[in-house]
Chain A
């Protein structure tokens, strides 16, 4: 009797999780499958789930477009540069906030948490004027600059937690051996915090890779990133769904690959603030 009910409960449990998974995945699956359909199938009006003759035409179209490679390169450059800058400066700040005593330390920590919440719409209006003042309007460096700034508060916050997990004895031993703070940061902390940097890097890269509003405002036809280029397919005479879905599929590949390999750490990062606080 009891075994029966636990078994029934287990089946119910898995059924619930599978149903939820289908709800989460269906729109993504529809996007990917539509990217392999030709226009006739797409505009026929009858949704086709599985059985259609796949074509790479949409991909050929967007890759044949002379600029796709440029937009891809732009996105990669911006994402990677912003991530490296954020991790370096954020790691240094996290180390100082976690391990050093100086006046204003708590204010900086609180301030970083507050500026994290600045809405992109608030930033968007002055961002263009500011980027002209700084001489980075319509350049990739402009996006790198704003993405680094936008990501820093969250990166510092995550990395701070990772520094706190490192046993302080390691650093103390190095200091006794005469290591400078910079050597402690690069030679002692960095090697043991690699996993923490990887997770933080995934968060930061994903946000830079996906960002749309600032990219739309701060780039021109040569410095566009992939999300901006994709959105432009909408304004042509009627949306070209096949190409849009192909672009969308290419944009979601890096975030989904990261999710596969480090879902556990991503969830830990997402829930850390809420659960541990």
Chain B
């Protein structure tokens, strides 16, 4: 009621105009996002062979879900996802925040550097996967060449489980640390200078300022950056699909890549749909957490 931007006129006619304006977008999202997800839910309770009409699929209830709970490959890929998330997010957050604290002062030419820092984020995941596959390549790859130059044995990076896992973690850190850096630096530069000034007058040293003033004040930004990265750990599969194809074995098969390969390599669509429901639940839980920390459309409307 106190919203100054609320239109003056009211009544049914106004409502209908509102509905007409949101209708195309709502219909598109309904047909292109929600309808497929509902179909996926139905599919997860069916045994559907690829190449036959979906209507001939057999209803098997919760069998796919029961199978999923016992499936060692699902557990393995959950474990890979967990490890991947742990290493990438810990390193990206630590590096991103540390660099932002070091380089937060506004400086001439900052916009050029920022343009450069977002480039890894802007290019196609397929290209990211291909470039790093080339660099990690056992024969033509540059990384092996410099290893040899430094006196080490060349390694079959993408053919050995631990090394392949290292390769996907390394690639992710290259691509996403700048994202954390840019978000955190924006938060730091938005801090009111009076508070920092006051803490300095009170005798806080640099470390106290960082840990007792700055980081607590950008807490919600840090949480959101962390949750966004966590969601991407569960969403992303394109880079891995190109870089390692999940292999060797299941060493780099993140959960979403496992869903993809179960559906389109093993051609078990119903079973893959069941695993994808698990994936969806995880991502939704994380997204709800973001909405709780900050709902951009709500908070801005209420200001």
Contacts and interface: CB of A to CB of B under 8 A. Distances in A.
Interface of A: 10, 13-14, 16-17, 20-21, 23-25, 27-28, 30-31, 34, 42-43, 45-47, 85, 88-90, 92-93, 95-103, 105-106, 108-110, 112-127, 129-130, 132, 134, 145-146, 148-150, 152-153, 156-157, 160-161, 164, 168, 181, 185, 206, 209-210, 212-213, 217, 227, 230-231, 234, 239, 241, 244-245, 248, 251-252, 255-256, 258-260, 263-264, 266-267, 270-277
Contacts of B169: none
A121 B279 contact: yes
B21 interface: yes
Contacts of B114: 263-264, 267
B33 A24 contact: no
B66 interface: no
Contacts of A244: 130, 134
A251 B127 contact: yes
Given A157-B297, A164-B300, A119 B135 contact: no
B119 A270 contact: no
Given A122-B279, A125-B273, A255-B122, 20 more contacts: A31-B127, A45-B139, A93-B25, A97-B22, A102-B19, A121-B260, A122-B40, A125-B272, A125-B276, A129-B43, A150-B33, A181-B21, A185-B21, A212-B126, A241-B140, A260-B115, A263-B114, A264-B111, A272-B296, A275-B190
Given A24-B117, A120-B237, A263-B115, A212 B124 contact: yes
A92 B21 CA distance: 5
B179 interface: yes
B113 A21 contact: yes
A39 to B, nearest CB: 10
Contacts of B37: 118, 122-123, 126
Interface string B24-67: 11101101111111011001000000000010000000000000
Given A89-B24, A113-B297, A276-B300, A210 B124 contact: yes
Contact of B113 (A17, A123, A266): A17
A45 to B, nearest CB: 6
B286 to A, nearest CB: 8
B124 A217 contact: no
A260 B293 CA distance: 32
A118 B39 contact: no
A134 B113 CA distance: 46
Contact of A126 (B40, B120, B186): B40
Given A115-B29, A258-B122, A273-B294, A130 B36 contact: yes
Given A115-B33, A123-B33, A149-B28, A34 B134 contact: yes
A40 to B, nearest CB: 12
Interface of B: 4-7, 10, 14-15, 17-19, 21-22, 24-26, 28-29, 31-37, 39-40, 43, 54, 99, 102-103, 105, 107, 109-111, 113-120, 122-128, 130-135, 137, 139-140, 142, 145-146, 174, 178-179, 181-183, 186-187, 190, 220-221, 224-225, 228, 231, 234-235, 237-238, 241-242, 256-257, 259-260, 263-264, 269, 272-273, 276-277, 279-280, 283-284, 286-288, 291, 293-301
Contacts of B238: 120, 212-213
Contact of B264 (A97, A130, A132, A217): A217
A152 B37 CA distance: 16
5 contacts: A24-B117, A98-B301, A122-B40, A122-B276, A145-B28
Contacts of A13: 102-103, 105, 107
Contact of B259 (A121, A153, A273, A276): A121
Contacts of B4: 168
A119 B110 CA distance: 34
A239 B186 CA distance: 41
A130 B21 contact: no
Given A149-B33, A152-B29, A275-B221, A27 B132 contact: yes
Contacts of A117: 231, 235, 283-284, 286-287
A152 to B, nearest CB: 5
A273 B10 contact: no
